[in-house]
């Protein structure tokens, strides 16, 4: 048995030293040190040896096992280090690279930026106001007295009796006029809030407000500015129609329709067969608003307009459900 042990030790030492890869090293562990490996087989035979031989053989077998295990561990460490050192050289440069998903701006942001860029090219600058607004700026200064029925159209989210989430971007008009003097030419993009939710209404949506005040500005200037805007945002063939309307802060007031972008005015489901789509409200600034900000209504004239960004985006891209904008479904968003 001592001969057998010596033979195993010599062969194993030789083989372990010669091995070059981790797979073969594992094979050698199984062959010599594994549960049914050569050493284990030998150990099993110790039981049947004469009693006086057992201690010596047992001791020698344990020594051999310890020796081979140490040798094996040492080789394992060597091969692992070698693999790590060679790691870089193993990169296969011919493999195709990972492709990264490149994101982009949300369609509402895109249209908002496009609208802002059209108006800034026309000489407007961008203004902002708070989303949490006082009743005074959201309503009173815009000539909606308390209890005025026009407030009903703005299903408001009140925070307290006098504080609410702004229902439109028009309060920015008042804030800008209060702290500057004409000439004024601003647009105010931003979020607004109303208690309303269905396929064309969302409790939060976006508006763009426009305001121009000077010593001479007319309804025809307003028509000109809005015509340029519509022609650039949609296409130069789009027709505009100004319909008489009412807003407390403009007089006269108008609602502006464009010829249907789907059927070009022939009549279809989108325009309810009328050939027209309403896209914004506008008018000449009411003298009451000028009085609220301390402007002399005899000296200054101005016009204002306000539009819903979701509505314009839906018309431009033929989207029929406003909720798609807020679900963040990449299958929808990736189309823009």
Q: Which residues lie near ligand DAH (CB under 6 A)?
A: 168, 170, 209, 247, 250, 281-283, 304-306
Q: Between residues 111 and 282, which has the closer beta carbon with respect to ligand DAH? A: 282
Q: Between residues 16 and 187, which has the closer beta carbon with respect to ligand DAH? A: 187
Quote the tokens at residue 34. Answer: 């594994």
C-alpha 319/C-alpha 323 separation (Å) is 10
Q: Between residues 282 and 301, which has the closer beta carbon with respect to ligand DAH? A: 282
For tokens 């949490």, what's the residue? 132
- Cα 287-289-292 angle, rounded to 5 deg: 115
Q: Between residues 213 and 282, which has the closer beta carbon with respect to ligand DAH? A: 282
Q: Between residues 260 and 285, which has the closer beta carbon with respect to ligand DAH? A: 285
- Cα 99-104-106 angle, rounded to 5 deg: 145
C-alpha 296/C-alpha 140 separation (Å) is 18
Judge contact between 39 and 61, C-beta under 8 A: yes
The minimum distance between CB 109 and ligand DAH, in angstroms, equals: 20
The minimum distance between CB 211 and ligand DAH, in angstroms, equals: 7
The minimum distance between CB 283 and ligand DAH, in angstroms, equals: 4
Biggest alpha carbon–alpha carbon distance for the chain? 127
Give the DSSP H or E segment for 126: strand 125-126
Quote the tokens at residue 148. Answer: 């005025």
Residue with the CB atom nearest ligand DAH in the bound state:
306
Q: Between residues 107 and 281, which has the closer beta carbon with respect to ligand DAH? A: 281
The minimum distance between CB 233 and ligand DAH, in angstroms, equals: 17
* SS3 category, 21: coil
C-alpha 276/C-alpha 264 separation (Å) is 9
Q: Between residues 65 and 206, which has the closer beta carbon with respect to ligand DAH? A: 206
C-alpha 301/C-alpha 4 separation (Å) is 112
Q: How far is CA 249 from CA 139, 145, 205, 301, in A?
A: 9, 11, 21, 13
The minimum distance between CB 291 and ligand DAH, in angstroms, equals: 17
The minimum distance between CB 179 and ligand DAH, in angstroms, equals: 18
Judge contact between 325 and 191, C-beta under 8 A: no
The minimum distance between CB 324 and ligand DAH, in angstroms, equals: 22
Helix 2-18 and helix 54-86: axis angle, to 10°?
Answer: 0
């Amino acid at each position: 048995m001592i001969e057998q042990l010596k033979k195993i030790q010599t062969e194993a030492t030789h083989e372990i030293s010669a091995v070059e890869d981790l797979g073969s090293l594992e094979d050698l562990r199984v062959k010599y040190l594994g549960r049914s490996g050569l050493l284990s087989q030998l150990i099993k035979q110790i039981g049947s040896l004469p009693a006086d031989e057992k201690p010596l053989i047992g001791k020698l077998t344990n020594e051999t096992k310890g020796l081979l295990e140490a040798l094996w561990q040492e080789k394992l460490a060597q091969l692992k280090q070698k693999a790590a050192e060679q790691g870089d050289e193993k990169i296969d440069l011919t493999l195709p690279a990972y492709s990264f998903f490149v994101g982009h701006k949300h369609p509402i942001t895109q249209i908002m930026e496009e609208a802002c860029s059209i108006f800034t090219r026309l000489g407007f600058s961008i203004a902002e106001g708070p989303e949490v607004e006082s009743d005074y700026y959201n309503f009173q200064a815009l000539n909606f007295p308390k209890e005025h029925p026009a407030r009903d159209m703005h299903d408001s989210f009140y925070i307290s009796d006098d504080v609410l989430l702004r229902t439109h971007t028009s309060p920015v008009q008042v804030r800008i006029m209060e702290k500057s003097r004409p000439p004024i030419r601003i647009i105010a993009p931003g979020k607004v809030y109303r208690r309303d939710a269905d396929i064309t209404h969302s409790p939060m949506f976006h508006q763009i407000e426009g305001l121009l005040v000077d010593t001479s500005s007319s309804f025809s200037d307003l028509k000109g500015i809005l015509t340029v805007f519509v022609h650039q945002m949609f296409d130069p063939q789009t027709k505009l129609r100004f319909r008489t309307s009412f807003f407390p802060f403009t007089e006269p007031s108008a609602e502006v329709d464009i010829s249907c972008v789907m059927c070009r005015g022939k009549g279809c489901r989108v325009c309810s067969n009328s050939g027209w789509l309403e896209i914004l409200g506008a008018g000449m600034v009411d003298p009451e608003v000028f009085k609220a900000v301390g402007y002399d209504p005899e000296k200054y004239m101005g016009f204002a307009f306000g539009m819903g960004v979701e509505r314009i985006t839906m018309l431009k891209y033929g989207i029929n459900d406003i909720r798609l904008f807020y679900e963040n479904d990449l299958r929808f968003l990736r189309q823009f």
